[in-house]
Structure 1
Amino acid sequence: MSPNTLGTDPVHVMERTDSERSGSAKPAATTALSDRELCDRFEVIPTAAINDVLRSKGLIQQVLPPSVEGLEPSMRVAGIAFTIKGSKNLQLANEMEERAAMLEAIPQDAVCVWDTSNDDESAQWGEVMTMAAQRQGCRGAIVDGGVRDTDKILELDFPVFCRYRTSNGMLGRFRMSAWQVPVRIGQVTIHPGDITVGDIDGVIIVPRALAEETLVEAERIQFDEISLKKMITDGIAPREVVERGGYF
């Protein structure tokens, strides 16, 4: 098997003081970012801000089901989607060889995204797979299924989001059928190369073609919220906050 065959709106600009208008923190439009810079910048942006930007573009089905959660609330990840598809399967022949081929295909700055066809029995991710993926430069894993060796994964400081935990391995229970193909989790279709971002509020998928403009707009939301929060702490009434371009 070869790897390829298996009202108010937060995106509105708010009023700023003169000092804020000239502040160096304001994000600037940019193009041709490297994968590393793209991922590093997305990783520090809340998924809520990214969600607001995508909604303003008419993309309202970009969030994975809320059952897909980080192993710890503090986990954050952003990376390039490396997609994996599989389902329940009892066949064992060449299964480990296929796993090895998949792991060797993971590029730097990837996040492994597992579509398990709604499997509810097996762990598709564990300690040893984490170690192998880390050596490839992988940034994390999103598993619409199970994880095991949780304590060891936490020791490795590797962000993993999943639907459940189990001691069941996938050998003889579950098998990959393809990787680097479009997959679907919940209502979201994920293509290889899409930007995958996860934090305490869940996992969101940014289409790669919209990645850089979404990044800049989400960074602008964070910048604008400095003014918004100051208005609130200064005691400005909610209606006046809205009149000035704020939101709640």
Structure 2
Amino acid sequence: MTGRAHPAPAEEKVADELVVRLAALDACAVSDALDRLGLPGAALGLTALAAPRRIAGRAVTVHLVDDRPGAAPGGRHLGTAAVDASGPGDVIVVAHHGRRHVAGWGGVLSAGARRNGVEGVVVHGACRDVDEARELDLPLYATTGVPVTARGRVVERAWNVPVDIADVPVYPGDLVIADASGVVFVPAAHAEEVLATAEAIVTKERAMVERVRAGHPMAEVMSADYETMLDGGARR
């Protein structure tokens, strides 16, 4: 698959209202909701390298491959089309396949993403110019930082296509939430169900915290019922 692929109906962007609801949650509640529904979503091994605040939005994907003859249709630099097409409510998601020896994102791209109001960037692998992302206050989640350039090493095969992020399938328009606990993806086709489940989990856990503040013993608050909350709630 090369160039841009238009998303299938199940991959269409979810409504802005759902993005707002997602932003009111956290990665743990969303992960618990996915567990409850038997869906994958938590992309392990990614952490905040710059502007470590919670981000939420719709995925605009980029697929990177090793540089070789014919690997980059059109010859444009990786990530540029996704940056140009993205704005508020979007999270750029780069499938760098866990590469740690070469960057899959850099400072000029960060400047463009910040200019366009992109919510943040997720890279499954290394990125560089992390200091610049910090100066720009652009949330950047990745595997690690590295100074080595992508030029001559990796290229963009396609953007706005289905990708794999740490063994989680991600489609254009899927929901993304990331915070200090990690990165979680929500399939667009299940967004309403996942968010409603996560909201119910948050309500239950807030009630538990209120009981803690009221002085109830922890063993009582976190009873056997808590251990089975994923049958209708949450797990830690």
Q: Report TM bin, short chain.
A: 0.7 to 0.9
**Which residue of structure 2 aligns with residue 89 of structure 1?**
67
Which structure 2 residues correspond to residues 46-125 of structure 1 after superposition, within 5 A?
46-59=26-39, 61-65=40-44, 67-72=45-50, 74-89=52-67, 95-96=75-76, 99-106=79-86, 108-125=88-105
Gap regions ≥5 residues in structure 2: 7-12, 228-235
**Which residue of structure 1 aligns with residue 108 of structure 2?**
128
Q: Identity across aligned pairs (percent)?
A: 30
**Per-residue Cα deviation, 1:190-219 (whole angstroms, up to 9, x for no partner):** 111110110111101111112123223322
TM-score, normalised relative to structure 1: 0.77
Give, in angstroms, the shift of residue 238 of structure 1.
4.4
Moved more, 208-217 or 151-160: 208-217
TM-score, normalised relative to structure 2: 0.80
Return the letter of the residue paired with 2:90.
A
**Which residue of structure 2 aligns with residue 182 of structure 1?**
162
Spell out structure 1 runs of 4+ moving beyond 4 A.
Answer: 90-94, 242-248
**Which residue of structure 2 aligns with residue 29 of structure 1?**
none
Which structure 2 residues correspond to residues 138-149 of structure 1 after superposition, within 5 A?
138-149=118-129
Gap regions ≥5 residues in structure 1: 6-31
- Cα pair 1:3 1:101 within 8 Å, conserved: no
**Which residue of structure 2 aligns with residue 228 of structure 1?**
208
Cα pair distance change 1:188/1:244, threshold 3 Å = closer
**Per-residue Cα deviation, 1:155-211 (whole angstroms, up to 9, x for no partner):** 211111011111112111110101111111222111111101101111011111121
- Cα pair 2:128 2:148 within 8 Å, conserved: yes
Give, in angstroms, the shift of residue 94 of structure 1.
5.2
- Cα pair 2:50 2:130 within 8 Å, conserved: no
Distance of 2:188 and 2:176 partners within structure 1: 10
Structure 2 SS opposite 1:124: coil
Cα pair distance change 1:236/1:129, threshold 3 Å = same
Cα pair distance change 1:72/1:154, threshold 3 Å = closer
**Which residue of structure 2 aligns with residue 3 of structure 1?**
4
Return the letter of the residue paired with 1:62.
G
Structure 2 SS opposite 1:125: coil
Structure 2 SS opposite 1:197: strand
Return the letter of the residue paired with 1:80.
R
Structure 1 SS opposite 2:104: strand
Distance of 1:204 and 1:49 partners within structure 2: 10
**Which residue of structure 2 aligns with residue 161 of structure 1?**
141
Partner residue of 2:177 out of 181, 197, 222: 197
- Cα pair 1:112 1:141 within 8 Å, conserved: yes
Return the letter of the residue paired with 1:143.
V
**Which residue of structure 1 aligns with residue 231 of structure 2?**
none
Partner residue of 1:34 out of 8, 12, 15: 15
Moved more, 123-132 or 102-111: 102-111
Structure 1 SS opposite 2:215: coil
Distance of 2:181 and 2:57 partners within structure 1: 17
Count of aligned pairs between the two proteins: 219
